[in-house]
Amino acid sequence: MAVLVASGSKAPARPRRRPVVSSGWAFVIPFLVFFAIAILAPVVYAIYLSLFRDQLVGGSSFVGLANYGQALTDPDFWFGVGRVFGFMIIQVPIMLVFSLIAALAIDSGRLRAPGFYRILLFLPYAVPGVVAVLIWGFIYGPRFGLVGSINSFLGAQIFTPLTPEWVLGSIANIAVWEFAGYNMVIFYAALRTVPNELYEAASLDGAGAFRTILSIKLPALRGALVITTIFSIIGSFQLFNEPNLLKPIAPNAITSTFTPNLYAYNLAFTGQQYNYSATIAIVMGLLTAVIAYVVQLRGTRKELR
């Protein structure tokens, strides 16, 4: 890029420089047009909606930040936030450790047919989330599912994945199953970029396998770890598909306010409370962005050290 600027400013190239500059915009504008329609406009509209309230008499009226005040003191909302936060703290580390072990093992060169493991572990990512939840829902089924068969074989209710105590863990299991292989591929791709000379130098210094992992592989994975952690956090805070699809078979365990997203959805589509629903969506968006930003700051700060 530096080359481009330097040569562009040379005297003979001057007449050519202007078209180059404007065509930069020409390349970006098609994306920006759809970006404005599909992302900017809804965000602005949501903010606008969050400042109004439908009154019983007199239609919609401006209420300032009153909806935000309501959200901040809404126990249903905060229970949901607490639930996805608890989910995140348990599910994300388990999944990333799974992905990390698999990526390191495949990269170690000590497995026969590593490509075979790589593609098998990745397969669930190609399965639509809806289908993944349907399959696991059948497996969890207490009456006709796999869990049901095992329980009746054992003659006792040993496994109860759809009870209020276990349902969050059952959802976490589905999420681990869906995304561990995807994260593994990202880690593996990052490991492949480590230059071979580094490994040679380490082995000349007498470093064993674990030393190499600690001193070379994990530092090389830092960027990928930050990215996968951020995306997993965003995913946890957006939790919707799994609880919404399991709800019919676990009606006692999953309420309409189970996660903030489910809450916002039900507010809008069964309660017709669009203004408050938009407010919840914005608060969740802000919370997610703040947490993702903190993770990124921490991740990059370590990198600078």
For residue 77, give the nearest of 295, 294, 273, 289 by alpha carbon.
273
* 65 vs 205 by CB, closer to another protein: 205
**Shortest distance, CB of residue 223 to another protein, whole angstroms?**
4
- Measured CA to CA in angstroms, residue 36 lies from 9, 27, 33, 41, 49 at distances of 33, 15, 5, 6, 18
* 175 vs 226 by CB, closer to another protein: 226
Q: Please name the residue that has the structure tokens 């990928």.
A: 224
**Shortest distance, CB of residue 247 to another protein, whole angstroms?**
9
155 Ramachandran zone, left/alpha/beta (phi>0; psi -120 to 50): left
233 Ramachandran zone, left/alpha/beta (phi>0; psi -120 to 50): alpha
**Shortest distance, CB of residue 116 to another protein, whole angstroms?**
9
Burial of 163: CB neighbours in 10 Å, binned 0-12, 13-18, 19+: middle
**Shortest distance, CB of residue 104 to another protein, whole angstroms?**
9
**Shortest distance, CB of residue 238 to another protein, whole angstroms?**
5
**Shortest distance, CB of residue 193 to another protein, whole angstroms?**
5
**Shortest distance, CB of residue 29 to another protein, whole angstroms?**
8
Size (the chain), residues:
305
Residue type, 136: W
* 32 vs 89 by CB, closer to another protein: 32
* 8 vs 66 by CB, closer to another protein: 8
DSSP assignment of 91-128 equals HHHHHHHHHHHHHHHHHTT-SSSHHHHHHHHHGGGGS-
113 Ramachandran zone, left/alpha/beta (phi>0; psi -120 to 50): left
* 3 vs 156 by CB, closer to another protein: 3
* 16 vs 86 by CB, closer to another protein: 16
Distance in angstroms (rounded) separating the CA atoms of residues 295 and 290: 9
* 89 vs 111 by CB, closer to another protein: 111
* 146 vs 158 by CB, closer to another protein: 146
Distance in angstroms (rounded) separating the CA atoms of residues 66 and 56: 16
φ and ψ of 7, to 5 deg = -70, -30
**Shortest distance, CB of residue 87 to another protein, whole angstroms?**
15
